[in-house]
Amino acid sequence: MSIPSFPSRLPQVGTTIFTTMSALAVEHGAVNLGQGFPDFGCDPALVDAVTHAMQAGHNQYPPMAGVRALREVVSGKTQALYGHHYDVDAEVTITAGATQAILTAILACVHPGDEVIVLDPCYDSYLPNIALAGGVAVHVPLTPHSFRPDIARIAAAITPRTRLLIINSPHNPSASVWSGEDMRALEAVLAPTNVLLLSDEVYEHMVYDGAPHQSAARFAGLAERAFVVSSFGKTLHVTGWKIASVCAPAPLTAEFRKVHQFNVFSVNTPMQHGIAQYMMSPASYEGLAGFYQAKRDLFRAGLADSRLKLLPSSGSFFQCVDISQVSDLPDTEFCQWLTREIKVAAIPLSAFYADGFDQRVVRFCYAKQDDTLREALQRLRGL
């Protein structure tokens, strides 16, 4: 049989570092702190709510924009936390996870040849999404090691061809968090432009040490041009459910839904009803920062006496460390060695840079049971 050949839409894309490192972890019996998802369950009450929704007959197609009760939860939460009202019918959409939300937003507004500014290191779906839209990625680095946004460099990267800027706070992979001052500076830079904003806020409820999450929705000049992406999967410890939301002004939402209706149309019905019922109580997310901060503190305390240099972890559920005092290996080779010899899997930060920039930093995920973290720390203690 002769299979017709065709040019790849994503010729530079291969197997992700997450798949590679997870397979290596299984092969060597390593504690997997590489992939960013919990190894513990969600609240049983959430499963009960979804089960009840199924039993109540909520098993057919929902509205394309999402179950209204869940959109009401999103709108109400955003109003309560960030002081910005999104119209339930015209400005809130439920999506099949944040990755689908991000792709849909990019496809909705980026035309072939348009420039999209990304801040390196960045989540691995951004660049393929831009390529699929025919856009041109313009790379602006975050400050090495601190991963602070360089607003002046972002401003300098804007051209008449710039269609979209993608930001991510709390940040994956670095665990840095944008401040209110950062957001106001960005608001001032974008004010005289027509540049749209995609604000990836999937870790919005995981900001530590009493700091508030600085959502783009808090800032009028950003909210008026932004797609704001949130994740029920991250918030409720159910990453495999792949349900998220996008808030945006009505004109942006109208364009977003034009694409959304033809790439997924709608999202798992009983899960939407179950999540809506469960999240009617703010307790469903209010304790999340404290929950993960305790895991962060446990993990950091366990590494305090090692030669791994701890970088700040101000949000998300990641911890980055500088490996310079432990090894001369490049970060990818170090992660492979760590998995084979120490039996703990991590992710090299160079995997999040388009040019493979290696600053001798690797990322651990501490969204794990405390016993899992203690086991990993025991193995890492000799470094």
Task: Tell me the residue type at 99.
Answer: T
Contacts (Cβ under 8 Å, ≥6 apart) of 283: none
- Condensed to tens digits (0 to 9), the pLDDT of residues 41-96 reads 999 999 999 999 999 999 999 999 999 999 999 999 999 999 999 999 999 999 99
Instruction: Give tens-digit pLDDT for 269-320.
Output: 999 999 999 999 999 999 999 999 999 999 999 999 899 999 999 999 999 9
- Each residue of 324-347: pLDDT tens digit? 999 999 999 999 999 999 999 999
CB crowding 45-54: b at 16 or more within 10 Å, else e: ebeebbeebe
| d(C-alpha 139, C-alpha 62), whole Å | 39
Q: Are 329 and 290 in contact (CB under 8 A)?
A: no
How far apart CA 230 and CA 209 sit, in angstroms, is 21
How far is C-alpha 115 from the chain's CA centre?
21
Helices 370-380 + 288-303 axis angle, to 10: 20
With left for phi above 0 and alpha for psi between -120 and 50, is residue 174 left, alpha or beta?
A: alpha
| Sequence-ordered list of residues with C-beta below 8 angstroms from that of 73, at least 6 positions apart, any chain | 275, 276, 279, 280
Alpha carbon 28 to chain centroid distance? 28
Q: What is the pTM assigned to this prediction? A: 0.96
pLDDT tens readout for residues 123-173: 999 999 999 999 999 999 999 989 999 999 999 999 999 999 999 999 999
Q: What is the pLDDT of residues 218-270, one digit of tens each?
A: 999 999 999 999 999 999 999 999 999 999 999 999 999 999 999 999 999 99
Q: What length is written for the chain?
A: 383
- Please give the domain boundaries of the chain with CATH numbers for all domains: 17-36+286-380 (3.90.1150.10), 45-280 (3.40.640.10)
Which contacts (CB < 8 Å, 24+ apart) does range 327-336 have?
Answer: 330/358, 331/358, 331/359, 331/360, 331/361, 331/362, 332/17, 332/358, 334/362, 335/21, 335/34, 335/362, 336/24
